[in-house]
A and B are shown apart, each in its own frame.
Chain A
């Protein structure tokens, strides 16, 4: 009797696992049991995440909640303590070409001797190869990517002459040049002007229309309902995950942010 019960329990859990596996196999980015630690303080603890294909997902949480770390671990930029991730059901190493990453603007030195178009050409790194010369076709492609973010006129400017918003759009153009299937952006709207925000969000929406998957580390709660299909709330641990209507609620925000948000603020946010 007890043996029978145990067996059926095992079956159930196996079925559940298989279900999860199937989900992970389709997901552009699936993470299981991820823990990342700086020193001995986990920044991300035992997090599962399953990104929906062809949609826009916001990663949301308070400062220091591990949003950027989650992204960097998914990309193999920081090494996790435990856990694993798959990209379209395959290991990261096999799928590099399908991912485009837009790092935080502040992560590079903008006095670096390079022009706008050279930064976008970095996106074509794989096509250029080690010795190949930069051809007219590469330049044309880089220019068309700059066009999409409204920066074509700036192609031969030195990058240090750009405003913060323009720098951000150049980074986005570099990612576009990769023609990836999954786009991961780290705080693309942080400290940019309204024109840039509009330009970036329209590019991201066009990517979604083209069937691409977009994941954005986002800090501005006021625009979540307008911009995104799904949210992933994190505060070291996963708090909630799902469509905005279900996962972006007063309760989940309260859980993620603790007492940091006033109730009136919460009402306003979740109703869009």
Chain B
């Protein structure tokens, strides 16, 4: 059943939903990345909650005017108007009062959502039109999605992607360094507004599938997930699009396979699974990598300290240090250095001296920045450079000095 869903074998409607969701997920992931980089992720939460009164009012208007209250394009238009109003309120509050942005977000989010809930209840008690399904906008509902609905979603997603492609450079510049961007003459406020406009577009388009409460997850989680895997903003954008698209596709397929499960929450859970995997497994920023890195680092520190102690004829007291040296065949069981151990110890001490020269010399700055007291110097400098440094140190270096601090000459 699930496999059928993933392979688009579950019938016309499920296929439509899965493809629509994938498009939306991609657009949301990419748009959300810029919001995340600009550190305004939560603004999208306020924008999405602010859509609810618009949806309700649009429904009422259309129903009273004798049309079909559930016309998707009409409902989305209403949601866009009220989301825009919410966004404007937030901007106004932040700029003209002493409220910080987080407080403005809280105020707009709760007031708009509260008003929307009141309207929703009123609609249900009025019994106008065929209101069933309107609450689907809260958590997303894809049962009975029409071809025309899918078209609206696909077109919205495509337009959003095109706009992002056109404005990615200015948006990245503004996100990284807004003052510099302003000094270059970029219209920072307008670019921020555009960013919010794109977020609003994704939110409105995504209402039907994910619902307004959880759309923020579609915007933010893919970006945060992608950030684990790369240090380049352009790659974060692409990966976020990929993660968002795949998560939405799988989530939509899953919910099609088990029709009682709401689509939005399932998509969010799939998206979270990607996030959790990345959190643990990502090569540099992941938790597992960090733990392994720390353990490896600890072993290197102990080994290096042990070697330096050997070179200077000091006693080693730490159990871990001795164990590591012994395992590497550098000391015998009784703690006395082997021939190989003595050679490695002498080399370690010589490297210390070489590093000192490297770090004092501006010409070797890039190499010096890598100094951590652990690295073998030949991994950083060429043989010729090392010879040159040895010449500068001068004298014979045999790795054994009588007391700490004595200068080799």
Does A107 touch B at the CB level, under 8 Å? Answer: yes
Q: How far is the CB of B167 from chain A (nearest CB, A)?
A: 7
Q: List 29 A-B contacts (CB under 8 A).
A: A72-B179, A75-B183, A76-B185, A77-B182, A99-B183, A101-B179, A103-B177, A113-B37, A113-B230, A113-B233, A113-B235, A114-B232, A115-B231, A115-B232, A118-B232, A122-B173, A122-B176, A122-B180, A130-B166, A131-B165, A150-B362, A150-B365, A153-B365, A153-B366, A154-B369, A158-B231, A174-B180, A195-B362, A195-B365
Known A118-B233, A154-B366, A174-B180; further 20 A-B contacts with Cβ < 8 A: A77-B179, A101-B179, A101-B184, A103-B177, A103-B180, A103-B183, A108-B177, A112-B37, A112-B176, A113-B230, A113-B233, A114-B176, A114-B232, A114-B233, A115-B232, A125-B173, A125-B184, A130-B166, A131-B165, A150-B362
Which A residues form the contact surface with B (CB < 8 A)? Answer: 72, 75-77, 93, 96, 99, 101, 103, 107-109, 112-115, 118-119, 122, 125-126, 128, 130-131, 150, 153-154, 158, 163, 166, 174, 184, 195
Inter-chain CB contacts under 8 Å: number: 77
- Find chain B residues with CB under 8 A from A77 CB: 179, 182-183
- Find chain B residues with CB under 8 A from A103 CB: 177, 179-180, 183
Complex Cα spacing A210 to B230, Å? 40
Give the residue of A99, A108, A125, A163 whose beta carbon is less than 8 angstroms from that of B369.
Answer: A163
Complex Cα spacing A77 to B185, Å? 9
Which B residues form the contact surface with A (CB < 8 A)? Answer: 37, 39, 165-167, 169-170, 173, 175-177, 179-180, 182-185, 227, 230-233, 235-236, 362, 365-366, 369
Q: How far is the CB of A202 from chain B (nearest CB, A)?
A: 11
Q: How far is the CB of A139 from chain B (nearest CB, A)?
A: 14
Give the residue of B170, B177, B183, B231 whose beta carbon is less than 8 angstroms from that of A76.
Answer: B183
10 nearest CB pairs, A to B = A153-B366, A101-B183, A96-B185, A158-B231, A75-B183, A77-B182, A103-B179, A108-B177, A113-B233, A112-B176
Give the residue of B167, B170, B182 whose beta carbon is less than 8 angstroms from that of A75.
Answer: B182
| Residue of B whose beta carbon sits closest to that of A102 | B180
- Find chain A residues with CB under 8 A from B177 CB: 103, 107-108, 122
Give the residue of B176, B184, B231, B233 whose beta carbon is less than 8 angstroms from that of A108.
Answer: B176
A107, A113, A153, A195: residue with the most chain B Cβ atoms closer than 10 Å? A113
- Find chain A residues with CB under 8 A from B233 CB: 112-114, 118
| Residue of B whose beta carbon sits closest to that of A160 | B231
Give the residue of B165, B183, B232 whose beta carbon is less than 8 angstroms from that of A113.
Answer: B232
- Find chain B residues with CB under 8 A from A76 CB: 182-183, 185
- Find chain B residues with CB under 8 A from A113 CB: 37, 227, 230-233, 235-236
Give the residue of A93, A128, A130 whose beta carbon is less than 8 angstroms from that of B185.
Answer: A93
- Find chain A residues with CB under 8 A from B236 CB: 113
- Find chain A residues with CB under 8 A from B37 CB: 112-113
Complex Cα spacing A168 to B200, Å? 37
Complex Cα spacing A184 to B232, Å? 28
Complex Cα spacing A120 to B362, Å? 22
Q: How far is the CB of A76 from chain B (nearest CB, A)?
A: 7
Complex Cα spacing A72 to B177, Å? 14
Complex Cα spacing A150 to B182, Å? 27
- Find chain B residues with CB under 8 A from A195 CB: 362, 365
